[in-house]
Amino acid sequence: MGEGRTNYTSAELLSDYQNPDGGRDMLVQAVKELPNAAKELAYEAWQNPVDTAISVGKTVGTGAVMGAALGYLIPGRGTVAAIIGTAFTIPAVVNTYKHFNHAYQAAQNSNADVNAIAKAFAKDALVETGNFALGTAGGLVGSEIGRGIAMSRTPVGEFGQSVQRFVLKAENKAYDTVSSMFARSPQLAAETGTPASGRLEIRDLDSAVKRSGAANTRDIDRMMAASPEGQPPAGPSAKEMEMVYGSLHGHSVYSDGMGKPAEIYAKAREQGLQFTAITDHNHKAARGGVQPGDPRYPGHQKNPTVADAPEAYTETIWAANQATKPGEFVGISGVEVGTIGKVGSTSKGGTNHVNILEVPDFFESVRSPKQGFAPPNVIKVADGDMKAIVTHLDGMKDSTGGRPVIQLNHPRYGADESPNLDPSVRGRDYGQKSFKSQKEWRERFGKYASQIEIINGDAISPKKSAVESRHIHADDFAGYIDKGLHLSPTFGRDFHYGDPGGTNAATGILVKQLDKPSLMDALRERRTIATTNKELLSGRMTANDQHMGSILDQQRHHDVNVKAHVGGKVTPEAKYTVNLWGDAKIGDKNLAEIVQSKVLSGTELKAAGNTVSFDTVQHTIGAKSAYFLEIQRLGAGSAVPERMWTAPVWVEPDVSTGSSLAINALIGLGATTLQR
């Protein structure tokens, strides 16, 4: 055979083939030639650095320009972005097929040098792959730049936002048209497997999946297909729910408190609470600060800690269930998993305390876990190793069959994130350092973290007292929202002297009915408020007619209309200040700020039907944002206002509708095509 050729005339390609296996042999040989082809390309690049740099820069630049244009003008995970990205690939696919077919047929010609064709094809395939990778990389960088420009608070950014809003509205209109067609034709919907319902409105509600009969209750990131009217399936509206009050944090004699669990639950009912949680400390050092003369001391001499005798945890679960009377009271069992010693002290992976509610196993914190087997209901974890705890929770359900719930206790975001701290110990609270990255912590720990104590009780004082400013952690609440956790505010009495009430402050939970499954569902769905006085000030928040705690799909909710529904004792002379707080771009370390504020008297509030409406807030397309309410009530003759906070409503791009990486891969193909 003579010298191989890779370019053939049409006459040659159309001639009688005498080597029908040549195409297959060429493909096999091309795979074998890939290493040599790679070496040759590397050598050519080394010999011609300027030309190589120009070619690389041109491909990357083309991808970057295309990506920037898409990122600036098109919502990154919408239908239009997918269509445009796919359109970019068509020429690349056609050209690639033509090239492959050309080489395949040429190799079947009896005069062809199969090895030469295979070598050339392998080399060309590597070039195309490299261009694709470079174009994709440029597209990724460019799209982020474009999105950043569109999200900037500049006239250029406003124009990009306006274009993206126009695209979203067009997409939604088209989607609604198709949805209404299927809704009118159940038979067609059944034949195509398409649900006769609207687009996803809200996500991250695994109890809603359970109500709707879905198979996977853990798939909490694609939740809740809305009905044609835009309401969650089989779920009650906020008006149909009731607000119940209590506390989610307290201790019995089995850690550093007073009273047996059954006694505490009984007293909580007597005090008018509708739910109470006993969450004893999970380590043997819990009684370190209890000395002779303390009212708790005698009981501690007679009773072990729950860490010494895990059967005490079983007793708490039993007492909670015995105390629970649907419609009247719910007893909640739990465990406070925390730092051994002072909050903020050094530990393996994290500091501070969390409550884990209604789980069957007892988590014991130890300074150095010993080797060997512990009783099956006791899980020993190193102090602060939240990752180990989450790993166990991944295979566990709570007593109602749902995802376990974690509450962040006495937060200290400001102290934990202080720039004066060494980076090695900064940002340790709640086990952050036990994970390999903040992203992993947000995803794995954040799946269970649902509540945060924005108001603390006077934990180590036997006296009843009003809430002091030092017990309010509004900035810490905002800080963890900006870290990317989906948390709703609570009040933690943190009682240590057998007095679960003793204050007018409370956690309010919006429930369908007062029973344990409904209450735990409400915690998972973050339908909570925290108030300094449940008698005088209560309320809830809705955004776009969805209840507080919801995560709204940006695709549908690019404008946000918030309403405050104020409860409690509304008197004519009382003065109300209703602040709408917003974190417009979660993750930028700029905490929530007041977006709008309304001031009105009790008379004006009653005239408005106890509802305060805010002007429309435009969500920044491409960002994750959160909005929540702070309401203050200043009564006649009062110097200090009562205060309450609602759960936020989040607006986020729905990652289940597409992948920005996939879209940018399509951009890479487009950039490759333009280089031909």
Indicate whether 354 belongs to any domain: yes
Please tell me the predicted confidence (pLDDT) of residue 626: 96
**What CATH number did the domain enclosing 249 receive?**
3.20.20
Angle in degrees, CA 470, 358, 343, rounded to 5: 35
CB 268, CB 244: distance < 8 Å:
no
Which token pair is 502? 């003793």
Please tell me the predicted confidence (pLDDT) of residue 138: 78
Q: Which residues of the chain have pLDDT under 50?
A: 1-6, 8-17, 188-235, 348-349, 371-376, 656-669, 671-672, 674-676
Indicate whether 322 belongs to any domain: no
- Regarding whether 604 and 643 lie in a shared domain, the answer is yes
Residues 6+ positions from 333 with CB-CB distance below 8 Å: 261, 277, 278, 313, 316, 317, 319, 320, 357, 358, 399
Indicate whether 291 belongs to any domain: no
**3-class state of residue 529 by DSSP:** strand
pTM here is 0.77
Q: How far apart are CA 182 and CA 184, in angstroms?
A: 5
CB 567, CB 243: distance < 8 Å:
yes
Q: How far apart are CA 225 and CA 238, in angstroms?
A: 18
**What CATH number did the domain enclosing 600 receive?**
2.60.40.1940
User: Between 49-73 and 155-184, two packed helices, what is the crossing angle to 10 degrees?
Assistant: 60
Please tell me the predicted confidence (pLDDT) of residue 172: 72
Q: What is the pLDDT of residues 380-425, one digit of tens each?
A: 888 788 898 999 999 999 999 999 999 999 999 999 999 988 888 8
Q: Give residue for tokens 């794995």.
A: 444
Please tell me the predicted confidence (pLDDT) of residue 348: 47
Indicate whether 180 belongs to any domain: no
Query: What's the structural domain count of the chain?
Result: 4
Indicate whether 550 belongs to any domain: yes
Cβ neighbours around 376 below 10 Å, total: 7
Cβ neighbours around 149 below 10 Å, total: 16
User: CA separation (Å) from 343 to 409, 478, 569?
Assistant: 10, 20, 37
CB 278, CB 333: distance < 8 Å:
yes
- Regarding whether 486 and 584 lie in a shared domain, the answer is no
Please tell me the predicted confidence (pLDDT) of residue 20: 67
- Regarding whether 519 and 443 lie in a shared domain, the answer is yes
Please tell me the predicted confidence (pLDDT) of residue 317: 94
For residue 546, what are the domain limits? Answer: 535-653
Helix (H), strand (E) counts: the chain: 18, 24
**Which contacts (CB < 8 Å, 24+ apart) does range 124-127 have?**
124/99, 125/30, 125/34, 125/37, 126/34, 126/37, 126/38, 126/41, 127/41
Which token pair is 430? 């709640």
Which token pair is 286? 């819990």
Please tell me the predicted confidence (pLDDT) of residue 584: 93
- Regarding whether 19 and 45 lie in a shared domain, the answer is yes
Give backbone dihedrals phi and psi of 134, rounded to 5 degrees, phi first: -65, -45
Q: How many CA atoms lie within 13 A of 275 on its CB side?
A: 32
- Regarding whether 494 and 346 lie in a shared domain, the answer is yes
Q: Which of 520, 485, 518, 530 is nearest to 646 (CA)?
A: 530
**3-class state of residue 553 by DSSP:** strand
- Regarding whether 497 and 475 lie in a shared domain, the answer is yes
| DSSP 8-class letter at 27 | H
Question: Between β-strands 625-634 and 649-652, what pairing exists: parallel, antiparallel or unpaired?
Answer: antiparallel
- Regarding whether 153 and 118 lie in a shared domain, the answer is yes
- Regarding whether 248 and 121 lie in a shared domain, the answer is no
- Regarding whether 231 and 251 lie in a shared domain, the answer is no
Q: Which of 476, 416, 516 is nearest to 207 (CA)?
A: 516
- Regarding whether 522 and 377 lie in a shared domain, the answer is yes
Please tell me the predicted confidence (pLDDT) of residue 384: 80
- Regarding whether 84 and 26 lie in a shared domain, the answer is yes
Q: Give residue for tokens 């408020």.
A: 529
- Regarding whether 81 and 219 lie in a shared domain, the answer is no
